[in-house]
């Protein structure tokens, strides 16, 4: 299928992308999870990565966030080639990821989770300690901004609902000055109201000039906030479309594997 080039008419927004991924391949032993995927994100846009289960979405963003090293391909961060050895490297560069499996520890308090791995300290030498008061205050404040009332900053994350946990993770990424925020299926396990809250949060984050990569297999959720849409199928990109240039039906068909190519081409304006 050569849809890869054919659908690349969703021009990128003006300006340089923050992250550009070129022909990324990822093999796990003899499994080819990604067979050449290109993708970019610009500041202040929400670029949706769509695809059915097993399409390779999670694997792809894990190469972007330093969890996996790509087998082949190039990652440019602010125009420079980058190779991340760990999620920490990527995080320090400004790529924050809210993983599908969330990276939250239920037994730990919201504050401890919020600052996990990046605890602010006061004091020096052997008396260097976490700035607990500030950590608690920041956590309460950031969560309130996102519309979540914590009982106490030491409330265990395990007692929060799924949407609230997503929000903690997003708030954490924003607080630490992410330039790119990657959200892996943040809405897939949520109810209607919690989903709306998360989508509204994505919109807020984008308006702050952060580039958002929003992964979903739900077309309606993607269309609600997305600026551009890239569809992944069986480890390949089927194309990128801009907001307003594609109908939900066309996106849906593309995700299903492109069997309805003719119909899809029609809706894209017959440029193929």
Partner 1 sequence: MATDTTTHPAADERLKTESFGARLMKRPELGAIAGVILVTVFFVLTADPAMFTLSGIVNFMTPAAQLGILAIGAALLMVGGEFDLSIGSMVAFAGLFFGAATVAVGLPLLLAIPLTFLFAAAVGAVNGTIVIRSGLPSFIVTLAFLFILRGLSLVGLKAVTGGSTQLRGVRDATEGDPLAPFFSGDAFGPVFAWAADRGVIETFGNGTPKVPGLPVEIVWFVALAAVATWLLLRTPAGNWIFAAGGDTLAATNSGVPVRRVKIALFMLTACCAALVAIITVMDAGSTDARRGFQKEFEAIIAAVIGGCLLTGGYGSAVGAFFGAIIFGMVVIGLGYTSFDQDWFQVFLGGMLLIAVLFNNAIRKRVTGER
Ligand X SMILES: Nc1ncnc2c1ncn2[C@@H]1O[C@H](COP(=O)(O)OP(=O)(O)O)[C@@H](O)[C@H]1O
Applying CB under 6 A, among 5, 15, 16, 54 the residue interacting with ligand X is 54
* Partner whose footprint covers residue 147, from partner 1, Mg ion, ligand X, none (CB < 5 to 8 Å by kind): partner 1
CB proximity list for 160: less than 8 A, separation 6 or greater:
110, 168
Exactly one of 6, 32, 76, 156 binds partner 1 (CB under 8 A); which one? 156
Show the tokens assigned to 219.
């077309």
Single out the residue of 212, 190, 189, 192 nearest to residue 201, CA to CA: 212
Backbone angles phi, psi at 96, to 5 degrees: -105, 140
User: Which 18-37 residues touch ligand X, going by CB under 6 A?
Assistant: 28, 31, 33
Judged by CB under 8 A, the residue of 16, 105, 256, 262 near partner 1 is 105
Task: Please give the residues from 43 up to 82 whose contact with Mg ion meets the rule CB under 5 A.
Answer: 58
Smallest distance from the beta carbon of 223 to partner 1, in angstroms? 16
Does 57 interact with ligand X (rule: CB under 6 A)? yes
In the list ligand X, Mg ion, partner 1, none, the entry touching 146 (Cβ below 5 to 8 angstroms by class) is partner 1
- Give the number of residues written for the chain: 272
101 binding partner (options Mg ion, partner 1, ligand X, none; Cβ < 5 to 8 Å by kind)? partner 1
Do residues 202 and 184 lie in contact, with contact meaning Cβ atoms separated by under 8 Å? Answer: no
| Structure token digits, residue 212 | 């958002």
Residue 28 interacting entry, from Mg ion, ligand X, partner 1, none, C-beta within 5 to 8 Å by type = ligand X
Query: Contact with ligand X (CB under 6 A): which of 59, 139, 167, 216?
Result: 59
- Distance between CA atoms of 121 and 130, rounded to whole angstroms? 4
Looking at beta carbons only, is 58 or 237 nearer to Mg ion? Answer: 58
In three-state form (DSSP H/G/I as H, E/B as E, the rest C), the secondary structure along 59-77 is HHHHHHCCCCCCCEEEEEE
Pick 126 or 270: Cβ nearer partner 1 = 126
Q: Helix H segments across the chain?
A: 3-6, 57-64, 87-93, 110-114, 132-145, 162-175, 192-207, 219-225, 248-255, 261-267
CB 251, min distance to partner 1, A: 23
Q: Looking at residues 117 to 146 of the shown chain, list those that interact with partner 1 (rule: CB under 8 A).
A: 117-119, 121, 128-130, 132, 144, 146
Which residues are paired to 257 by β-bridges? none
Applying CB under 6 A, the residues found at the interface with ligand X are 28, 31, 33, 51, 53-59
């Amino acid at each position: 299928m050569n849809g890869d080039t054919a659908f690349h008419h969703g021009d990128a927004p003006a300006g340089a992308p923050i992250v550009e991924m070129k022909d990324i391949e990822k093999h796990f032993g003899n499994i080819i999870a990604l067979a050449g995927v290109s993708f970019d994100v610009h500041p202040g846009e929400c670029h949706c990565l769509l695809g059915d289960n097993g399409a390779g979405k999670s694997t792809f963003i894990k190469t972007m966030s330093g969890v996996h090293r790509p087998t082949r391909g190039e990652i440019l961060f602010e125009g420079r080639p980058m190779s991340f050895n760990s999620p920490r490297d990527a995080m320090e560069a400004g790529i924050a990821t809210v993983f599908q499996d969330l990276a939250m520890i239920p037994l730990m308090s919201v504050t401890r989770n919020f600052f996990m791995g990046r605890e602010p300290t006061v004091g020096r030498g052997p008396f260097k300690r976490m700035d607990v008061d500030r950590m608690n205050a920041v956590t309460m404040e950031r969560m309130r901004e996102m519309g979540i009332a914590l009982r106490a900053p030491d409330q265990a994350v395990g007692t929060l609902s799924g949407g609230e946990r997503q929000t903690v993770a997003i708030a954490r990424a924003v607080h630490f000055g992410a330039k790119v925020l990657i959200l892996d299926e943040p809405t897939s396990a949520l109810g209607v109201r919690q989903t709306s809250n998360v989508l509204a949060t994505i919109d807020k984050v984008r308006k702050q000039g952060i580039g958002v990569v929003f992964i979903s297999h739900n077309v309606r959720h993607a269309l609600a906030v997305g600026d551009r849409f890239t569809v992944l199928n069986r480890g390949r990109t089927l194309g990128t479309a801009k907001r307003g240039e594609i109908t939900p039906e066309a996106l849906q068909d593309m995700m299903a594997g492109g069997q309805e190519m003719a119909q899809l081409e029609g809706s894209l304006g017959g440029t193929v």
